[in-house]
Each structure stands twice: as C-alpha cells, then as structure tokens.
Amino acid sequence: MLILRCPAQLQLLEETLRKSLPTTLPVLGTVMTVARGNPASHEVLVDSWPNFSIVLTRLRPEDHRDPRDYYTNQLSVFYRDKGALQALLEGTEAVTRERAFQILGMQDGLDQAVQEVASARGLKVE
C-alpha cells in the first residue's frame, strides 16, 4: 500500500472520490482532512496510484496508544474491486491483527468480506 502525502495527489483523489458519493463518504472526509493540514494525524493509503482499486484511511500507526481500543483504531475503506478488499484484509500490513479495530465503509459486501477473512483465520468479529 502506498501512503499519499503529496497535496496534488490528495486533491486528485478527493475529486475522484466526490464523483462516487455517497459510497465514498467514509474515506472522503479523512482525505479532505489530511489535504488540509491533517490535525488528527491520519494517513491515506491506496493500493496503486493513480489507478487505485482501494483507498484506506487510518490513524498513523505511531499514534496508536492502546491496541485494544477499536474506536481509536478505526479504518475507513472504499474499494472498486472486491478482490482488492479481500487482498487488503488477508495479506497486507495496512490492516494488522495485533490490534483491535473497526472498519467503516458503505459498500455492499464489506461485512461479508470481513466475516469470511475472520472466520478463515479463526478470529472473532463483533
């Protein structure tokens, strides 16, 4: 996953996400915050640039204070391809099993994908 820090990239991503409202709403707010100074210490990750399949926003890992606090460890996701979501949940360091987290998204199939990956690993999802 690539972390977007360049203001021009964040602006282009923001414009792209606006075209797919309301499903992009969970990530769009964080992208806008990061592009405007990032007072909340979040980061924006994409699988590739500029032709991304998935966008993930999260608190910077160094700002995680309690690995059991899933409110602080909140992730937001928008994906164009369900396979990219599966890959994100199954095998990237962007989503780690060392801490509790909650994942927010407005697309059909998100809950099912999370349940499938969790059950395959013997993890509990609430």
Residue 84: predicted pLDDT: 84
Confidence of residue 18 (pLDDT cuts 50, 70, 90): very high
The residues that bridge with 107 in the sheet, in sequence order, are none
**CA 64 to CA 67: how far, in whole Å?**
7
Domain residue spans in the chain? Answer: 2-121
pLDDT digits (tens, 9 = 90+) for 32-85: 999 998 877 899 999 999 999 999 998 887 776 766 766 667 888 999 888 888
CB-CB contact of 63 with 41 (8 Å): yes
Q: What is the pLDDT of residues 87-123, one digit of tens each?
A: 887 776 767 666 667 777 888 888 888 888 778 877 7
